Amino acid sequence: MSRIIKYRIVSAYDDDFVRDIEIEEDKTFMDLHLAIQSACNYDPSLLTTFYLSNKNWDKLQEISAECIDPETQKEVMLMDSTKLAKFKPVVGQRYIYIFDFFSVRAFFIEIVNIREKSESDENLQFPICTLSHGNPPEQLFVDDITDDNDIEDDDFNDIDDDLYDDFNEYGYDNLDDY
């Protein structure tokens, strides 16, 4: 029997937004990516990436949709060939999902449950969004970024660092506290 992983997805941009997605552990990060995009009504063709994270929301291993620069992305794993089981999922395991690459916006993801697939699951088509609360942050397109809010290379790191600092200020030890 395979296991079902439940991922809780929240945003630092909107306290009301939460999505839970259940997916089989033998699926790939591409499957999880597509499930998140579908649950948020986003365009799944835009650049995105996952990062394995620790409890302080530090970025660790990158799992990307594609390798843009082989020289600088030597350690990057690809979503379509990396199974969710690769990182030995456990409750509390965290990921950062950059869903809006050009405006550097992310979701925070935590595994909140792992269970054995049961007979009652046999008629279900996984992945499934089992909780949908609030509206997702708007997905921005490159054409939506104006001269007034262009992001410079130096700003990327500032925004990136501020985002994770702000999320830690909420005081969540885990996303079950959300």
DSSP letters along 39-71, please?
HTT--TTS--EEEEE-TT--EEEEEESS-S-TT
Q: pLDDT by residue (tens digit) across 56-97?
A: 999 999 999 887 777 777 789 999 999 999 999 999 999 999
If one compares 175 and 97, the residue with the highest pLDDT of the two is 97
- Predicted TM-score (pTM) of the model is 0.79
Reported as a pLDDT band with limits 50, 70 and 90, residue 106 is very high
**Structural domains of the chain ordered from first start:** 3-177 (3.10.290.30)
Dihedral over Cα of 125, 126, 128, 130: its sign: positive
Cα separation, 141 vs 102, in Å, equals: 8
pLDDT of residue 153: 46
Whether the predicted pLDDT of 159 surpasses 90:
no
Which structure tokens are listed for 96? 């950062």
User: pLDDT-derived band of residue 176, with 50, 70 and 90 as boundaries?
Assistant: low
